[in-house]
């Protein structure tokens, strides 16, 4: 298992022999001790640091990410996650005490933290390193074994992930599976019962993963996407809002699940915001973003053609240029968009930013509710009452007030969706919890054994009512 498994689903010998060996290894108890988990996290940390330059080169090849962007959005976040786990792991692993009542007297209660077993982690192509390794950190910290399926659409990063995992771990503990995900994943899930499946990616594939997992009652975490709105009120700091919107939208050429998908701006400041967005794009990426080291490319030709198709018939305020040979689409602002256009019905996942205006909060909320349960929501206003209204009335996965996307980088906040944008949350302690079964245990004393608890019960109702209820 030092090389990718073949994608020929007719030959299941590799799956049938390798995955049961992982089960045997897990059931041996080898992954349970604190010392073992700490050692594995430390090895992963050392290996990621050792491969820093190769990671930079791979992500530049796949997505034209600069080394600075790679550190800020990929490698650095992985390092932060590992260091946080190492710092808190011993505390996380301790059983939690729980109170007991008169009904169970004399007893004590604890909740033990058991690993789930063998977990399957499936990562996407847009942040192919950190969206694979951050969940892995939680799985390791919780004492699990893991099978990793990186995206074949980011082949250079996939290759580096194979090297990192091979250097860090024994293959009966953590292993990487290569090949076409559409073939490999169903083949594995049909032949082997995982204890948890963690999937990051698109909504349609997420539904298929969920269906397959349901066949064997396997729990899943789905980190999907959606149309994440950005709402700008007339009291917002417009220039600051523009800088934060442009960063959140156009980092990784818009290929970010929590990127602002569209902007709703109050009519009074519409033109002011549009001018500010244009100026900030030029400030960040120059007048020729294609030559900017800070601006990426579209992952492949299929995605490029899909994004370009959105531009037909639209009113382009700024940008819109593209080059298929370079997989380049300029940062683009689009105005006068109909709510029935594809741009407003589908997650864009690219560097196209529709800007629509609204008059009242009710108007804006009606638009947002057309695509319910977004993964993220961003709100720019100084008005505390308006902030609270949005926070309480609109369900969304997570978000920011007067900022965009940076909630993802806070390891102390859970990250995840709701409804159509997924379920289950991770990052930091939440990753440990996600891959853990909280096992409640009641321990009772034998020194006292009240007869009240045993039949015959006749005549004991008044005592039951005092003790229970």
pLDDT of residue 217: 96
Backbone phi and psi for residue 242, each to the nearest 5 degrees, phi listed first: -60, -45
pLDDT of residue 102: 83
pLDDT of residue 101: 85
Q: pLDDT tens digit string along 34-50?
A: 999 999 999 999 999 99
Could you say which of 145, 230, 257, 400 is catalytic? 257
pLDDT bracket for residue 14 (50, 70, 90): low
Q: Is 223 a catalytic residue?
A: yes
Q: Are 315 and 336 in contact (CB under 8 A)?
A: yes
Question: Would you put residue 222 in left (φ > 0), alpha (ψ -120 to 50) or beta?
Answer: beta
Q: pLDDT tens digit string along 198-256?
A: 999 999 999 999 999 999 999 999 999 999 999 999 999 999 999 999 999 999 999 99
Report how far residue 44's alpha carbon sits from residue 41's, in angstroms, rounded to the nearest whole number: 5
Q: Cα 326 to the chain's mean position, in Å?
A: 28
DSSP 426: B
Does the pLDDT at position 8 exceed 50? Answer: no
Q: Are 22 and 177 in contact (CB under 8 A)?
A: no
Q: Cα 126 to the chain's mean position, in Å?
A: 11
CA angle, 228 then 229 then 230, to 5°: 130
pLDDT of residue 17: 80
Q: pLDDT tens digit string along 334-378?
A: 999 999 999 999 999 999 999 999 999 999 999 999 999 999 999
Give burial (CB, 10 Å; 0-12/13-18/19+) of 14: middle
Share of the chain above pLDDT 90, in %: 90
Q: Which residues contact 357 (CB under 8 A, 6 or more apart)?
A: 264, 265, 266, 267, 270
Locate 24 and state its tokens. 């045997």
Q: Which fold has domain 229-416?
A: Aldehyde Dehydrogenase; Chain A, domain 2 (3.40.309)
**Residue listed under structure tokens 């959105």:** 310
Residue 158, CB-side half-sphere exposure with 13 Å CA sphere: 21
pLDDT bracket for residue 15 (50, 70, 90): low
Q: What is the DSSP string of 176-205?
A: E--S-HHHHHHHHHHHS--SEEEEES-HHH
Could you say which of 74, 81, 158, 223 is catalytic? 223
Domain boundaries, the chain: 13-224+421-439, 229-416
Does the pLDDT at position 387 exceed 90? Answer: yes
Share of the chain above pLDDT 70, in %: 97
Give the residue from 115, 129, 126, 220 showing the smallest Cα distance to 176: 129
Longest dimension (CA), the chain: 87
DSSP 421: G
Report how far residue 277's alpha carbon sits from residue 282's, in angstroms, rounded to the nearest whole number: 9
**Rounded mean pLDDT of the chain?**
94
Residue 228, CB-side half-sphere exposure with 13 Å CA sphere: 29
Q: Are 37 and 216 in contact (CB under 8 A)?
A: no
Q: 267: helix, coil or strand? A: helix
| Number of other residues whose CB lies within 10 A of the CB of residue 315 | 10
* Run of H or E including 423: strand 422-423
Does the bond joining 204 to the residue before it have cis omega, within 30 degrees of 0?
no
Residue 322's DSSP bridge partners are 329
Q: Is 257 a catalytic residue?
A: yes
pLDDT bracket for residue 105 (50, 70, 90): confident
Q: 13-224+421-439 in CATH: which number?
A: 3.40.605.10
Q: What is the DSSP string of 233-265?
A: -TTS-HHHHHHHHHHHHHGGGG--TTS--EEEE
Question: Burial code of 221-248, b = ≥16 C-beta within 10 A, e = fewer?
Answer: bbbbbbbbbbbbbeebebeebbbbbbbb
Q: 232: helix, coil or strand? A: strand
pLDDT of residue 374: 96
Report how far residue 335's alpha carbon sits from residue 210's, in angstroms, rounded to the nearest whole number: 37
When mean pLDDT is compared across 72-86, 221-235, 322-336, 447-461, the lowest value belongs to: 447-461
Q: pLDDT tens digit string along 119-153?
A: 999 999 999 999 999 999 999 999 999 999 999 99
pLDDT bracket for residue 466 (50, 70, 90): confident
């Amino acid at each position: 298992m030092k090389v990718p498994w073949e994608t020929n689903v007719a030959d299941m010998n590799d799956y049938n022999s390798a995955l049961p060996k992982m089960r045997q290894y897990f059931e041996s108890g080898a992954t349970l001790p604190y010392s073992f988990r700490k050692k594995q996290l430390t090895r992963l940390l050392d290996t990621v640091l050792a491969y820093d330059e190769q990671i930079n080169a791979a992500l530049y090849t796949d997505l034209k990410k600069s080394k600075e962007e790679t550190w800020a959005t990929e490698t650095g976040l992985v390092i932060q996650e590992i260091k946080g786990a190492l710092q808190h792991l011993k505390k996380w692993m301790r059983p939690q005490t729980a109170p007991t009542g008169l009904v169970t007297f004399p007893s004590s209660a604890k909740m033990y933290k058991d690993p789930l077993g063998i977990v399957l982690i499936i990562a996407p192509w847009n942040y192919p390193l950190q969206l694979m390794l951050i969940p892995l950190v939680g799985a390791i910290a919780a004492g699990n074994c893991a099978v990793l399926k990186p995206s074949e659409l980011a082949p250079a990063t996939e290759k580096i992930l194979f090297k990192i995992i091979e250097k860090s771990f024994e293959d009966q503990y953590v292993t990487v599976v290569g090949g076409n995900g559409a073939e490999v994943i169903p083949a594995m899930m049909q032949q082997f019962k995982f204890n948890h499946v963690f999937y990051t990616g698109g909504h349609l594939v997420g539904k298929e993963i969920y269906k397959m997992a349901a066949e064997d009652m396997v729990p899943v975490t789905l980190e999907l996407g959606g149309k994440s709105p950005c709402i700008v009120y007339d009291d917002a700091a417009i220039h600051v809002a523009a800088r934060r919107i442009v960063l959140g939208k156009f980092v990784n050429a818009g290929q970010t699940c929590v990127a602002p998908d569209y902007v709703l701006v109050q009519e009074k400041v519409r033109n002011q915001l549009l001018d500010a967005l244009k100026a900030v794009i030029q400030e960040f990426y120059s007048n020729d973003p294609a030559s900017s080291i800070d601006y990426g490319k579209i992952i492949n030709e299929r995605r490029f053609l899909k994004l370009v198709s959105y531009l037909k018939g639209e009113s382009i305020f700024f940008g819109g240029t593209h080059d298929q040979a370079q997989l380049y689409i300029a940062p683009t602002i689009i105005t006068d968009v109909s709510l029935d256009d594809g741009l407003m019905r589908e997650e864009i996942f690219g560097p196209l930013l529709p800007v629509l205006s609204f008059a009242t909060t009710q108007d804006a909320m009606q638009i947002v509710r057309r695509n319910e349960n977004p993964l993220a929501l961003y709100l720019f206003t100084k008005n505390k009452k308006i902030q609270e209204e949005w926070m309480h009335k609109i369900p969304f996965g997570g978000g920011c007030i007067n900022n965009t996307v940076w909630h993802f980088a806070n390891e102390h906040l859970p990250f995840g969706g709701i409804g159509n944008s997924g379920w289950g949350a991770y990052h930091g302690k939440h990753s440990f919890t996600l891959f853990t079964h909280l096992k409640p245990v009641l321990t009772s004393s034998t020194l006292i054994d009240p007869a009240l608890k045993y039949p015959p019960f006749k005549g004991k109702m008044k005592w039951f009512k005092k003790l229970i209820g």
